[in-house]
Amino acid sequence: MPTSVRPEETPLDFPWADAPEQETCIEVAPGVHWIRMPLPFALDHINLWVLEESDGWVLVDSGFDSAVTQEIWSRLFGTVFAGKKPKRLICTHHHPDHMGLAGWLTKTFDIPLSTTQKEWDAFHLWSRLEPDAVVQMMSRFYERGGVSSDRQEIDLRRRKDMSARERITPKAFDRIEGADEIEIDGKDWTVNIGTGHAPELAALFRADDKVLISGDQVLPRISPNVSVMPFALDADPLKDFLDSLDRFRTLPIDTLVLPSHKLPFYGLHDRIDALKSHHMDRLDDALTACDEPITAATATTVLFPRALNDHQYFFALGETLAHLNFLWCDGQISRDEDESGTFIFKRM
Ligand SMILES: [Zn+2]
């Protein structure tokens, strides 16, 4: 295993120096159009893909559920995508920037949604939780993690507001699964499943000209978040993620990768190697931190020493737990509970 190649230092080849301006598109491969939508986070954009068929457009991912995204979609079909109608939506995974607007898109344009079973289930698990249930689940998660009560309070208030929002959710879906071939405009896109970032992320690979719509599974410059979820505290998502990266590494070395964030790139194998080595380094750091008994919250300050806002803190804690659970499941550290139910990790 190579060491110490930081993900942001991977030498990759970016064929486009800039992303498309808002409400314009770039055709990155035959019939594959790249658009961008804004996100209201520090990561301020998502890439979406619009695939051309003779009788309409296949949309890959929906964008975030906001009035701004709705307006942009509506205008796009009167401007750059005028002349044909949307005919199908495929969502790579359930996260709100990818599937958040799926309900609105399928309803507004009367189109079907395709996604995997686990992503459909995960989307509805989150969208059906009552605000009080979210607070209860998150409180328990934070207690297990040993998070301070003021940090908890700010986040729980935010979550209660978020989960109380009215949303249009998709009512039906067509299931896709690993190795399915989806024919679009006479060419097959093969479903490649990624795990660890999301439960059953559907990346789409067109072997004909070696194009991969990677979702969040492989991103340039960013290490995709891999988190223990509040409802699966014993899970080992980092192992799932690393294992699925090995499967993606069997795709051709000269694949054009179309990621959901940042810029399209060549260098799939190098990028996968760098992501794996990044996690191996973090595992080393986590193991060293466990020389003394440690809570997940304290380990988070070791793995993420920079200041984190509340949104980032949840991901950092989840990702730290993912590294600790990996070591625990691998028998390198122990995990016990103190009298208040907080997990205490310790090197064996
Ligand atoms: Zn995601």
Question: Distance from the CA of 196 to the center of ligand 1, in angstroms?
Answer: 10
Report pLDDT for 6: 54
pTM, full prediction: 0.94
Region of residue 23 (left: phi > 0; alpha: psi -120 to 50; beta: else): left
DSSP string, 125-163: HHHH--HHHHHHHHHHHHHHHT--HHHHHHHHHHHHHHH
Question: Distance from the CA of 201 to the center of ligand 1, in angstroms?
Answer: 9
Please give the residue range of the domain that contains residue 263.
7-130+161-278
Which residues of the chain are under the pLDDT cut of 70? 1-10, 163-164
- 103 backbone dihedrals φ, ψ, rounded to 5°: -60, -50
Question: Distance from the CA of 289 to the center of ligand 1, in angstroms?
Answer: 28
SS3 percent helix, strand, coil of the chain, rounded to 5, is 35, 20, 40
Question: Distance from the CA of 292 to the center of ligand 1, in angstroms?
Answer: 33
Question: Distance from the CA of 260 to the center of ligand 1, in angstroms?
Answer: 8
Question: Distance from the CA of 337 to the center of ligand 1, in angstroms?
Answer: 31
Report pLDDT for 50: 98
Specify whether the CB–CB gap between 134 and 166 falls below 8 A: no
Report pLDDT for 164: 66
Q: Give domain status of residue 290, yes or no.
A: no
Report pLDDT for 129: 83
Q: Give domain status of residue 234, yes or no.
A: yes
Report pLDDT for 265: 98
Question: Distance from the CA of 216 to the center of ligand 1, in angstroms?
Answer: 5
Distance CA 172, CA 234 (A): 31
Both tokens of 89, joined, read: 């939506």
Q: Give domain status of residue 243, yes or no.
A: yes
Q: Give domain status of residue 170, yes or no.
A: yes
Q: Give domain status of residue 85, yes or no.
A: yes
Report pLDDT for 2: 34
When divided into structural domains, the chain yields a total of 1
Q: Give domain status of residue 33, yes or no.
A: yes
The CA angle 228-125-261, to the nearest 5 degrees, is: 60
Specify whether the CB–CB gap between 91 and 58 falls below 8 A: no
The count of other CB atoms within 10 Å of the CB of residue 203 is: 27
Question: Distance from the CA of 93 to the center of ligand 1, in angstroms?
Answer: 7
CATH code of the domain covering residue 106: 3.60.15.10
Q: Give domain status of residue 143, yes or no.
A: no
Report pLDDT for 151: 79
CA-wise closest residue to 147 among 316, 15, 31, 276: 316
Report pLDDT for 226: 98
Residues less than 5 Å from ion ligand 1, measured at CB: 95, 216
313: helix, strand or coil: helix
Residues 6+ apart with CB under 8 A from 284: none
Q: Give domain status of residue 299, yes or no.
A: no
- 287 backbone dihedrals φ, ψ, rounded to 5°: -65, -45
Report pLDDT for 314: 87
